[in-house]
Chain A
Amino acid sequence: EIVMTQSPVTLSVSPGERATLSCTASQSVTTNLAWYQQQPGQAPRLLIYDASTRATGIPARFTGSGSGTEFTLTISGLQSEDFAVYFCQQYDNWPPLTFGGGTKVEIK
């Protein structure tokens, strides 16, 4: 099973600033990695797939990068609606499909 580790667990950022979230895989997943955003009480929403492709309707301030075992989600110019929990997910080698434990982006 591929273990996905996200850091930090909590990230405090001021509105308008940049947030950088990390996701590390226990073995290479090439670029078969997705990022999701989850607001309290809501289902996750797909942001990025194939490590760097934005999903339909996702603003350009969300950028995914990385390959192999190290991945980054960058959110530029944080807006109020961006304060949420973010999960990464690998789909390179499964079953099982695996998710990271999440990073909560909170208002500083």
Chain B
Amino acid sequence: QVQLMQSGAEVKKPGSSVKVSCKASGGTFSDYSISWMRQAPGQGLEWVGRIIPSLGIANYAEEFQGRVTLTADKSTGTAYMELTSLRSDDTAVFYCAKTLKLEWKADFFDNWGQGTLLTVSS
């Protein structure tokens, strides 16, 4: 059973950048993709993008295109999300989550990280 462990809470100033990590333990890093979601306080879930770690291929939501970069280090089983030009409305919990399998039309998430709270404030 793969477990995902995210890095700790961050406090950033508007205009700065943040890099959040998501380390997978157990399983094989090549058997799934990892997506990142944003959840603002009291709100729903918003997909940020996903990466296939074995290939290094990433897709991004249009809203985040140009501000987000997803990467993965196969040697350590760790995925990263870097978000730049931070705004106050980026204040949210960011989750990484893995898919059950790496197949077409199977992008639902069977394991989630515990979440990383990002606070953007001057």
Contacts of A36 in B (CB 8 A): 109
A74 CB to closest chain B CB (Å) equals: 19
Establish whether residues B95 and A91, one from each chain, have CB atoms under 8 Å apart when the complex forms. no
Do A45 and B112 have beta carbons less than 8 Å apart?
Answer: yes
Contact for A55 among B37, B47, B110, CB less than 8 A: B110
Number of A-B contacts (CB under 8 A): 59
Indicate if the CB atoms of B61 and A95 lie closer than 8 Å: yes
Query: Shortest beta-carbon distance, B38 to chain A, in Å?
Result: 11
**Docked-complex contact B47 and A99, CB < 8 angstroms:** yes
Decide: B47 and A96 in contact? CB cutoff 8 A: yes
Instruction: Let me know if B44 and A87 touch, CB within 8 A.
Output: yes
Whether A91 contacts B105 by the Cβ 8 Å rule is yes
Contact digits for B55-77, partner A, Cβ 8 Å, 1 yes 0 no: 00001111100000000000000
Contact of A44 with B107 in the complex, beta carbons under 8 Å = no
Q: Are A43 and B113 in contact (CB under 8 A)?
A: yes
Q: Which residue, B46, B63, B109, has most C-beta atoms of chain A within 10 A?
A: B109
B45 within 8 A of A: yes
Q: Do B115 and A95 touch across chains, with their CB atoms under 8 A apart?
A: no
Q: Mark A65-106, 1 if CB is under 8 A from B, else 0.
A: 000000000000000000000010101101111111110000
Tell me the complex Cα distance, A81–B61, Å.
33
How far apart are the CA atoms of A76 and B5 in the complex, in Å?
33
Nearest residue in A to B99 (C-beta to C-beta)?
A91
Interface string of B85-122 (1 = CB under 8 A from A): 00000000001010010000111111011110000000
Which residue of chain B is the closest to A56 with respect to CB atoms? B110
Given contacts A34-B109, A49-B100, A87-B44, 6 further A-B contacts (CB under 8 A): A43-B113, A44-B95, A46-B109, A92-B105, A95-B47, A95-B60
In the A-B complex, the 3 residue pairs with the smallest Cβ-Cβ separation, listed nearest first, are: A43-B112, A34-B108, A91-B107
User: Footprint of B on A, CB under 8 Å?
Assistant: 32, 34, 36, 43-46, 49, 55-56, 87, 89, 91-92, 94-102
